[in-house]
Structure 1
């Protein structure tokens, strides 16, 4: 169980739909002896109908993006790291749009800790990066594409994968897969993103709280 749940209201911008549903941060999840029990996290997500699709170690840069057709959850397996929420990048220079001023104003920043779980509504933009990373770009640890764990035993893979730096595991409601959208891609179509149905169960808490409380005015998937 999380030690605390923090809710963030991430409002739309001129380029990003974000969401009327809050971004949720669950603190202190799946911890044993100060580390994330990856097998426990995997099993909990799976039991609640959310499937693991990637494990990524972040680099110095990532483009700001959102998922227009699915909600997402991410658990911080190792850190530290930082995530910027809610705003679009300008241009193609990663140094300028990550560490400079080539992005929309008004971003939310979170400095992550091991055991943080973010439950992200469709449309909320995010970019994850590590000031101290040895590599510029994210490294996919679970196979090319990031849409599934490429192993005969995904639970065993997640339990045994070697992690370092700022690494997260990403999960999605069963049957959903993520797409990549950037600023301006849904100009005039924000409602279509906001109306992505809720999953039946929260990825961490199941039917008891979480999105079932904070997102309760939206329809569940039948």
Structure 2
């Protein structure tokens, strides 16, 4: 398995709080073509990469088709198979095409929703050490609670793709 070059620069996006989805002042990151999946076991390759960089509590699935976010954790999504159009950042965010080999890193509070996907779309998700994942659907009440939780989420010590020296470590300074 190979990953992007150590000096790779992910795409970065900062989404505004829209009153329902809080998002985060730290940037949402996307590595395009981050993982070479030619070995034949793409989910396992992504799990090995994330685990080697200290991100665990992994799962395999897709991206929910309803808007949601996580107020207690940051999340990484490694695309193992297929492709999808996913809205990140809520209604006023960006719809991005993500495909096998891409990795998206969502700071706590970042809204996401699958708009459409190929039949073989497969994602490996993971979280840095910390509290368990929460699933929050947008509402005024949930938003108010999330605004208190999100600033308490620790910045990860490592980038799930490039480790301790990866861009996340520099870009997510508070």
Task: Report the TM range for the smaller structure's normalisation.
Answer: 0.7 to 0.9
Residue 13, structure 1, aligned to residue 18, structure 2: yes
TM-score (norm 2): 0.84
The 3-state SS of whatever aligns with 2:143 is coil
The 3-state SS of whatever aligns with 1:45 is helix
Structure 2 contact 9–167 (Cα < 8 Å) conserved: no
Residue 183, structure 1, aligned to residue 169, structure 2: no
The Cα of 1:132 is off from its aligned counterpart by 5.0
The Cα of 1:52 is off from its aligned counterpart by 4.5
The Cα of 1:169 is off from its aligned counterpart by 0.6
2:89 to 86, 89, 92: 86
Structure 1: tracts of 5 or more residues without a match: 88-103, 134-164, 218-222
Alpha-carbon separation, structure 1, partners of 2:57 and 2:172: 22
Alpha-carbon separation, structure 1, partners of 2:58 and 2:83: 22
The Cα of 1:53 is off from its aligned counterpart by 2.3
Alpha-carbon separation, structure 1, partners of 2:18 and 2:145: 12
Residue by residue over 1:106-143, the C-alpha shift from the partner in whole angstroms, topping out at 9 and shown as x without a partner, is: 2311011211101100000101243554xxxxxxxxxx
1:47 to 39, 47, 52: 52
Residue by residue over 1:144-181, the C-alpha shift from the partner in whole angstroms, topping out at 9 and shown as x without a partner, is: xxxxxxxxxxxxxxxxxxxxx21111001134321111
* Equivalence map 1:1-222=2 (5 Å): 1-2=3-4, 4-33=9-38, 37-57=42-62, 62-87=65-90, 104=91, 106-133=92-119, 165-184=120-139, 185-187=142-144, 189-217=146-174
Quickly say closer, same or farther: Cα 1:36–1:64, change in 2 above 3 A.
farther
Quickly say closer, same or farther: Cα 1:52–1:13, change in 2 above 3 A.
same
1:139 corresponds to: none
Equivalent pairs counted in the alignment come to 167
TM-score (norm 1): 0.67
Which structure has the greater CA radius of gyration? Answer: 1
User: What is the root-mean-square deviation of aligned Cα atoms in Å?
Assistant: 2.2
The Cα of 1:195 is off from its aligned counterpart by 3.3
Structure 2: tracts of 5 or more residues without a match: none
